[in-house]
Amino acid sequence: MKAAVLRQVGSPLLIEQVKIGKPGPHEVLIRTAAAGVCHSDLHFIEGSYPFPLPAVLGHESAGVVEQIGSEVRTVKVGDHVITCLSAYCGHCESCLTGRMSLCVSPETKRSAGQEPRLCEEVTPQRPGNMNQFLNLSSFAEQMLIHEHACVAIRKDMPLDVAALIGCSVTTGVGAVIHTSNVRAGETVAVIGCGGVGLAAINGAAIAGAGRIIAVDRFPSKLELAKSFGATDVVNANDGDAVAQVMELTSGGVHHSFEAIGLKATAEQSFKMLRRGGTANIIGMIPVGVNIELHGADFLGEKRIQGSLMGSNRFPVDMPRLVDFYLQGKLKLDQMISRRLKLEQINDAFDELRRGELARSVIVFDQ
């Protein structure tokens, strides 16, 4: 099958033929319909997060089940599914205490002794290994994954739009409703209006937030943010974003969401809180970077916390998010800026580096 492979940090992805295995007892083979291009893939391309290479990247996808393993009961052949990198085992401490998105059990992967899910043709230059990325590797015509890394959805849901729910939408909406538990009437600020930030804004609108302040550097992004539910916008290029938010809210927000992955904006997310407020760091801050806070601010009971994949319970959340889209509450059509072929994947990353458009989605021939 055709796949986009990262061989070297900092270099473009290469479209190559990669071999994919057959489903083991708890595995599912999926024909990929669409895969969104998330900034997290770019962090791995740029090396701010390390990963063993070569690897097939991609982790925001939807598709159709082609084959299932002998023990699979959660999906069947022909089902339309959304994938999720939060593969869960179902019986570790995280899973059993309702925090399944924190599961790190190795059971959802193949062990070192087993044949790998992906591999390449062995040549004198290439030993034949190919790493699966985040349990998924979505920039490929097929995916071989654990059954607990996907969920079946309604067939009237378009799969290119459904792909976004695989990461950015689950992450952004989940950060608001699960991680920070935004209540009706509370004030929210979202820093960074890419796919994840726009989903957080949309989630805040669904949760009934009173004011939703969007922060970005591009006027086009701020306009888009308004159509997702932002009540106020702040251009970070027009001076100190914290001062602008403080002025708009007369003393800070109840919840802030950092959706970029920078030290400066993570610190801003804490500084723009009112007393008792909570800052949520969604962005992937490069490994090795520390963030600094004023210790005295903790006396105002201000909190700062990470949010991983929206603290999801994805088999429950994703079908609900599909319903929200089909009811017109989730604005996923507006989130897709471009639909591209797999061969154009590097253009999508160039666009992501510029930051002006929302989401590019790779659509596969069916």
Ligand X SMILES: NC(=O)c1ccc[n+]([C@@H]2O[C@H](COP(=O)([O-])OP(=O)(O)OC[C@H]3O[C@@H](n4cnc5c(N)ncnc54)[C@H](O)[C@@H]3O)[C@@H](O)[C@H]2O)c1
Question: Which residues are near ligand X by CB under 6 A?
Answer: 38-40, 43, 167-168, 171, 191-197, 215-218, 221, 236, 259-262, 265, 282-284, 307-309, 352, 355
How far is it, in rounded angstroms, from Cα 118 to Cα 129? 7
Residue whose CB is less far from ligand X, 110 or 178: 178
User: What does R_g of the chain's alpha carbons equal in angstroms?
Assistant: 20
Residue 142, classed as helix, strand or coil, is strand
Q: How far is CA 293 from the centre of its chain?
A: 26
Helix axes 241-249, 263-271, angle to 10 degrees: 20
Residue whose CB is less far from ligand X, 95 or 190: 190
Q: How far is the CB of 245 from Zn ion (least distance, A)?
A: 26
How far is it, in rounded angstroms, from Cα 233 to Cα 53? 40
Residue whose CB is less far from Zn ion, 234 or 282: 282
Residue closest to ligand X when measured from CB atoms: 194
By the 8 A CB rule, do 88 and 103 touch?
Answer: yes
Strand bridging mode 359-363 / 336-340? parallel
Annotated active-site residue 38? The verdict is: yes
Q: How far is the CB of 242 from Zn ion (least distance, A)?
A: 27
Which phi and psi (to 5°) does residue 84 adopt? -145, 135
Annotated active-site residue 59? The verdict is: yes
Look up residue 145 and give its amino acid. I
Using the rule CB under 5 A, give the single segment among 8-16, 104-112, 267-275, 332-340 that binds Zn ion. 104-112
Residues 147-186: x where in contact with Zn ion by CB under 5 A, - otherwise, as a string: --------------------x-------------------
95 binding partner (options Zn ion, ligand X, none; Cβ < 5 to 8 Å by kind): Zn ion
By the 8 A CB rule, do 172 and 198 touch?
Answer: yes
Residue whose CB is less far from ligand X, 43 or 274: 43
Q: Does 132 bind Zn ion (CB under 5 A)?
A: no
Q: How far is CA 307 from the centre of its chain?
A: 11
Q: Does 51 bind Zn ion (CB under 5 A)?
A: no
Annotated active-site residue 167? The verdict is: yes
CA torsion 288-42-82-183 (nearest 10°) is 60
92 binding partner (options Zn ion, ligand X, none; Cβ < 5 to 8 Å by kind): Zn ion
| Ramachandran bin of 192, using left for φ above 0, alpha for ψ from -120 to 50, beta for the remaining angles | left
Q: Which of 26, 38, 148, 256 is catalytic?
A: 38
Residues annotated as catalytic are 38, 40, 43, 59, 167
Q: Which residues of this chain interact with Zn ion, rule CB under 5 A? A: 38, 40, 88-89, 92, 95, 103, 105, 167
